[in-house]
Structure 1
Amino acid sequence: MPGTVLLLAASPAGKGCLVDAASVLPVLAAVPPAVLAGTETANVVELADPLEPQAVLTRLRAAAASPGPLTLFVTGQLHLDRRQRLPHLALARTTPATVRYTAFPWHWFREELRLRAAGTTTLVLDLHADAESWVWLRANALDCGPAVAVHGRIAPPPGRRRVAVPTYMKAVATVLRSGGRPPLEQLHHMAAARIAGEGEVGDLVLSGTGTGLPGGARTGVGTGVHAGSGSGVPSGGGAVAGSGVHLDAVAGVGAVAAPRTEPEVAPAALTVPAPAGPHPPAPAHLPPAHLPQTPVPPAPMDSDPHLAITAAVQAGRHADADALAARCEQSAAVAHGAGSQETLHWAEVRADLAMFAGDAARSCRAWMAVAGARLTAGQPADAPAVEAAVDRAHHQWGRIGETDSARELGPALAELRARVPGRREGALDHVHRQLRQLQLQTHG
């Protein structure tokens, strides 16, 4: 089966640039596509210093929809937005004041890759963090998702008036150009050894394949990539680890460790917070044609119900899929409470299932209910999960074909949009304009 490769290199123009990210693309492009992907044939998509986060999201979404192995080579720099303090990959127009609107939110990687089968997706990273992000990484997760293998490094700020070189990614490309493609973990060690031999120290070295924690490591509350403090990391992997990969701050190659699998509900209902606005975004979830193509037999209730739901959707049994998800939602509510993450997970699954079934009105109503439940539970209006739910509701509302249903749901969506404006200006105005048009259609 052909593989897919996404080469993404991005950094701000001007004095905000920490790393010459795009300089690695000619080196990577010189590697045969099949070698980059580790498959007999491969498609390669290259993004050099993209301007808009939505453009990156579109390419990432298309790559995530491919059925074969997917490898992403990401080079760039990390910043925190000033409002939510969440990590973003800086793009060409990013400045410290505009991170939230001009950079690519890191959690979008997780959301877009979450429906891919385990073992089919790899992230190879060469990132530089600004000073705030470097401090943030010592206590927080750079969440890549529990089913994604991650290899690479995160480097500290290069110093004033210095622009760093993506030496790790160039080392990866150099190894690949020498002929053959070693297993990714071996490739990672070879590249890390090369940059260590060149005197680079203090990086966070990443390597994980989703198979559990090493002996001696401690698990934390969060998920994803965590970093320990430079010289304060105890020997034996004492840094906190989550469900992505385990990092240690090291001198040179350092210690690497494997991640743990997520003990909570599977990540099948997290959604992409693609902003809605005058032009609602494309569906954030893969249509049935892009679900795993290998038939999955129905699973008993004591096994992972997501497998049975996937099989039902593939077979066109949308009512059966929703009924199973509804039973899971009810069980979660009894066990954990109506506003628990477990219950909300299944509510989001049902919203997705309505979309797969082509029932945009039901999907819109379900996403609005999820957003309302999260707000009632005390989550802030700019929390990614809240924004995601409202954005999905907005998008599904725009796909409702029946005028009466759209007009009925419009006022509730407008009220919700007033509370949760999202990342794109004009979303509330868009709802109001559409409502006026619906009223004109009725009276006309």
Structure 2
Amino acid sequence: MVINAHGNDQAESPDQGAALLLAAAPVGKGCLIDAAGVLPALAAVPPSALTGTAAATVVELADPLDPQTVLTRIRTAAALPGQLHVYVTGQLHLDHRQHLLHLALARTTPSTLRYTALPWHWLTGELALRRAHTTTVVLDLVADADAWPHVRGGGVGLGHGIRVFGRVSPPPSRRTVLTPDYLRTFADIWRTGARPHLAQLHESAAGRTGPAEALFLALDTPVPAFPVARPGTAGAAVPRSVAPIPPQAPPAPLVPPAPPVAPSRPPAEPAEDPHPVLLAAAQAGRHEEAAAIAARWESEALLVHGAGSAQAVHWLEVRADLARLARDPGRSCALWAEVAQGRLARGEAPTDEDVQAAVDRAHHQWEQLGDPDRARALAVVLTALRHQVPGRRPGALAAIHRRLDALGTPSPLG
């Protein structure tokens, strides 16, 4: 749902602001928090209260299913000029293979976490690309038993120049579903017509909500566009009971990425070629760092040249090969498939060498997948591509069918 609203509401700046409301939790017994339960209260708040600006755009994501869809919405919001406020309520889990936090989505289960949840560094990576002091994040989260120690160690840091307020609760007792009371307190105060500074809202919410073991986060940097309750309080002090988030370097974003691809020069003709630095990081095992570099360049290519441009496709290829180097064949397969689809959409023929190479690489990475569920899911996309791009050697489509038969799955698309 997208809402455009205009009004004064004591905003200090007439500029356009944007708010992204993301409420997500698994359906069924894996649910730890009624994340979407706070959305009706926030929907009753004037959009300008969410952004602190006279005009506001609000994008609401309620119990989304697909992490790629969520990433697209985050990217779109992060690319907007002016002040951006991101409100996130949901539950955090830890991927045991890579020890990375994920935000669970509607279809997330413990066994499908890496494929159905949103990696936290996708969110932090996109926000890290924004100009400093233009982004505010408000969190109302619960961490499961594995994620909680990671969170306590500062694992939800969002990087330099981002204001953060929030609550992260420890895992509840069995069969207990928490409610997002912290964020609901914000909504309740806004609905009275009051427009206090976020630091004051945070102090009120932290004082009214529990549990006692919860981690309350506050990192406040003055943002002139946000209205304050009294003159001279723009830098309202954080109460001593609140644990500030330690500043961190911008975290690694996006999906792990692709092979040494001949560079098409990225935007703005940089003084230094980023490819050697990126490859060195990947070869040293610093895969998240490499992914972060590629993500920044891809985002710049998208902003400067647009989706589907040669520059954007190039950085998508780099991401796909970085995923291969990170030994994430599922991610690499998905990205190479996206490369092939992008080239076909650009008007390149199915017989073009670059198109065939992208599909072949996607197919090769798919063959390396050891997770049957992930293989079945990606087979749908790969089979559709093989119908369009059979490749130089016969039998590629039949090979997909044989492997699916071995997995006990009917072949998609015939």
Query: Does the alignment pair 1:436 with 2:383?
Result: no
What one-letter code is carried by the residue in structure 2 that aligns with 1:259? P
Matches within 5 A, 1:325-404: 326-327=272-273, 332=277, 339=283, 356-357=304-305, 364=313, 367-368=316-317, 372=321, 379-381=326-328, 393-394=339-340, 396-403=342-349, 404=352
Q: Does 2:215 align with 1:204?
A: yes
Alignment partner of 1:155 out of 164, 169, 175: 169
* CA displacement 1:1-47 (0-9 Å, x = unmatched): 22112222222233222222222122222221111111112122223
In structure 1, the residue corresponding to 2:110 is in which secondary structure? coil
- The question of 1:20 aligning with 2:20 is answered no
Structure-2 residue corresponding to 1:166 = 180
Counterpart code for 1:380: R
Name 2:100's counterpart in structure 1: 86
> Gaps spanning 5+ residues in structure 2: where?
1-14, 223-238, 258-263, 395-414
Report the residue type matching 1:71 in the other structure.
H
Partner of 1:272 in structure 2?
A: 254
Q: Kindly, what percent of the aligned residue pairs are identical? A: 40
Alpha-carbon separation, structure 2, partners of 1:48 and 1:103 = 14
The one-character-per-residue Cα deviations of 1:276-326 (angstroms, maximum 9, x if unpaired) are xxxxxxxxxxxxxxxxxxxxxxxxxxxxxxxxxxxxxxxxxx969454254
25 and 66 in structure 1: CA distance in 2 versus 1, 3 angstrom threshold: same
Distance 1:97 1:125, change over 3 A: same
Q: Distance in 1 between matches of 2:176 and 2:219?
A: 31
In structure 2, the residue matched to 1:425 is 378
Q: Is the 8 A contact 2:24 2:64 kept in 1?
A: yes
* In 1, Cα distance between equivalents of 2:145 and 2:240: 22
Q: Name the residue aligned to 2:130.
A: 116
1:159 shift after superposition: 0.9
> How many Å separate the matches in 1 of 2:281 and 2:85?
39
Corresponding residue to 1:127 among 141, 158, 167: 141
Distance apart, 1:408 and its partner CA: 5.6
TM-score (norm 1): 0.64
CA distance in 2, matches of 1:54, 1:343: 20
Q: Describe the shift of the 1:256–1:394 C-alpha distance in structure 2 as closer, same or farther (beyond 3 A).
A: farther
Contact conserved, 1:400 with 1:406, CA < 8 A, in 2? Answer: no
Give the CA deviation at 1:156.
1.1
Residue 347 of structure 1: CA displacement?
6.1
Gaps of 5+ in 1: 212-251, 276-317
Residue-by-residue CA offset, 1:205-248 (whole Å, 9 max, x unaligned): 1111479xxxxxxxxxxxxxxxxxxxxxxxxxxxxxxxxxxxxx
Given candidates 62, 74, 89, the residue that maps to 2:76 is: 62
2-structure distance, mates of 1:372, 1:108: 18
1:395: Cα distance to partner? 5.5
Match of 2:246 in 1: 259
Whole-angstrom distance in 2 between the partners of 1:145 and 1:204: 18
Aligned to 2:86: 72
Task: Please give the per-residue CA displacement for 1:142-171, whole angstroms capped at 9, x wherever unaligned.
Answer: 243434321101001221222222221111
Structure 2 residue identity aligned to 1:160: R
Whole-angstrom distance in 2 between the partners of 1:387 and 1:110: 24
Contact 1:146–1:210 (Cα < 8 Å) also in 2 = no
TM-score normalized with structure 2 length: 0.68
Match of 2:234 in 1: none
Change (3 A) 1:390 1:407: closer
* Structure-1 residue corresponding to 2:22: 8
SS at match of 2:186: helix
Over 3 Å counting, the alpha-carbon distance change for 1:181 and 1:80 in structure 2 is same
Paired residue type of 2:102 = H
Letter aligned with residue 208 of structure 1: L
Question: Using the alignment, how far apart are the partners of 2:39 and 2:301 within structure 1?
Answer: 41
Q: How many residues align?
A: 346
Name the structure 2 match of 1:281.
Answer: none
Q: Partner of 2:204: helix, strand, or coil?
A: helix
Q: How far apart in 2 are the matches of 1:337 and 1:163?
A: 41
Residues 375/49 of structure 1: CA separation in 2 closer, same or farther (3 Å cut): closer
| Distance of 1:51 and 1:412 partners within structure 2 | 27
1:209-358 equivalences in 2 (<5 Å) = 209=220, 254-257=241-244, 259-260=246-247, 262=249, 272-273=254-255, 321=267, 323-324=269-270, 326-327=272-273, 332=277, 339=283, 356-357=304-305
Given residue 23 of structure 1, which amino acid in structure 2 is its aligned partner?
G
Confirm or deny: 8 A CA contact 1:210 1:259 kept in the other structure. no
- Counterpart check, 1:406 vs 2:354: yes
Q: Distance in 1 between matches of 2:146 and 2:294?
A: 35
CA contact (8 A) 2:133 2:162 kept: yes
CA–CA distance in 2 between the matches of 1:389 and 1:145? 26
| Counterpart residue identity of residue 207, structure 1 | A
Question: Is residue 175–residue 190 contact of structure 1 (8 Å, CA) maintained in 2?
Answer: no
Alpha carbons 1:3, 1:70 under 8 Å: kept: yes
Instruction: Give the equivalent residue in structure 1 for 2:231.
Output: none
- Across the aligned residues of Structure 1 and Structure 2, the Cα RMSD in angstroms comes to 4.1
Contact 1:31 1:177 in 2 (8 A): yes
Name which of 188, 207, 211 aligns with 2:202: 188
Shift of 1:94: 2.7
